[in-house]
């Protein structure tokens, strides 16, 4: 039997008999473990249920720091199954907005390409993302009382979708604590009163930063 040259082997592998018959993967699947990666602003979107509804009071300070130092603490990112874009996993929407501004102002690539930690979308992805944003926002500029109240209300809706039944305030407090965002039951009661009675009447005052003690005083007058 004559020797087969490497070229003969290559020709056979490229022949019709060795053609691919299975499906062709169009895109790679996301990692199944925490993985550092570089993404661009075009690939990244803010988290849609971010509880922060007003401008971060530290916005200008954060922007000045990022302009001079770059992004010291890139936000973790994730992606819903089947989605086209990555999203911020917890916190970081302010930093993303600032990066977009700085990219538009400077066209500096360090504001366009971001080294992030990708974390896989968990089984309870929506509620984990929301409670993560609530907790993270408390550490970076805080939230107004009404923003926290609306965030907790949205969390309640997600929990009730999970369980298929209404939750008491005490059960809501227990679940929030278990997911890393502890809120005492009495605070939840004040939050619900603020949404029900005060938000329709004085939204501007609430979004300007009216605190829990003032909310308690006003709701006690009804």
Contact yes or no for 219/193 (Cβ under 8 A): yes
**CA torsion angle 177 56 44 49 (round to 10):** 50
Q: What is the pLDDT of residue 137?
A: 86
Q: Could you state, in chain order, the average pLDDT of each consecutive group of 10 residues for the chain (222 residues)?
A: 58 54 61 96 96 92 96 92 95 94 97 96 95 88 91 98 96 97 96 96 95 91 80
Q: How many CB atoms lie within 10 A of CB 61?
A: 11
> What CATH number has the domain spanning 31-123?
3.90.1530.10
The alpha carbon of residue 196 and the mean position of all alpha carbons in its chain are separated, in whole angstroms, by: 27
Residue spans of the domains in the chain: they are 31-123, 144-222
The DSSP secondary-structure symbol of 74 reads P
Q: What is the pLDDT of residue 4?
A: 64
Q: What is the pLDDT of residue 25?
A: 46
**pTM, full prediction:** 0.82
CA dist., res. 88 & res. 97, Å (int): 11
Q: Is residue 126 helix, strand or coil?
A: helix
**Residue ranges of E strands in the chain:** 35-40, 44-45, 77-78, 86-88, 113-118
Q: Is residue 53 helix, strand or coil?
A: coil
Alpha carbon of 102 to those of 50, 112, 132: distances in Å? 21, 9, 26
Query: Which helix (H) or strand (E) is 217 found in, with range?
Result: helix 212-219
Contact yes or no for 79/87 (Cβ under 8 A): yes
């Amino acid at each position: 039997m004559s020797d087969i040259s490497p070229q003969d082997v290559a020709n056979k592998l490229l022949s019709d008999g060795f053609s691919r018959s299975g499906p062709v993967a169009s895109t790679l699947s996301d990692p199944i473990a925490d993985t550092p990666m570089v993404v661009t602003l075009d690939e990244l979107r803010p988290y849609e249920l971010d509880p922060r509804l007003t401008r971060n009071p530290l916005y200008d300070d954060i922007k000045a720091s990022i302009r001079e130092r770059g992004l010291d603490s890139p936000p973790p990112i994730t992606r819903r199954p089947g989605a086209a874009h990555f999203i911020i996993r917890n916190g970081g929407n302010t930093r993303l907005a600032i990066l977009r501004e700085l990219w538009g102002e400077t066209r500096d690539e360090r504001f366009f390409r971001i080294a992030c930690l990708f974390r896989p979308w968990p089984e309870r992805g929506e509620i984990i993302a929301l409670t993560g944003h609530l907790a993270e926002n408390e550490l970076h500029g805080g939230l107004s009382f009404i923003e926290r109240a609306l965030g907790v209300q949205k969390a309640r809706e997600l929990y009730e979708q999970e369980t298929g039944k209404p939750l008491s305030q005490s059960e809501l407090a227990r679940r929030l604590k278990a997911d890393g965002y502890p809120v005492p039951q009495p605070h939840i009661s004040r939050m619900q009163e603020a949404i029900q009675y005060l938000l329709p009447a004085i939204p501007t005052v609430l979004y300007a930063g009216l605190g829990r003690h003032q909310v308690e005083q006003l709701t006690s007058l009804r």
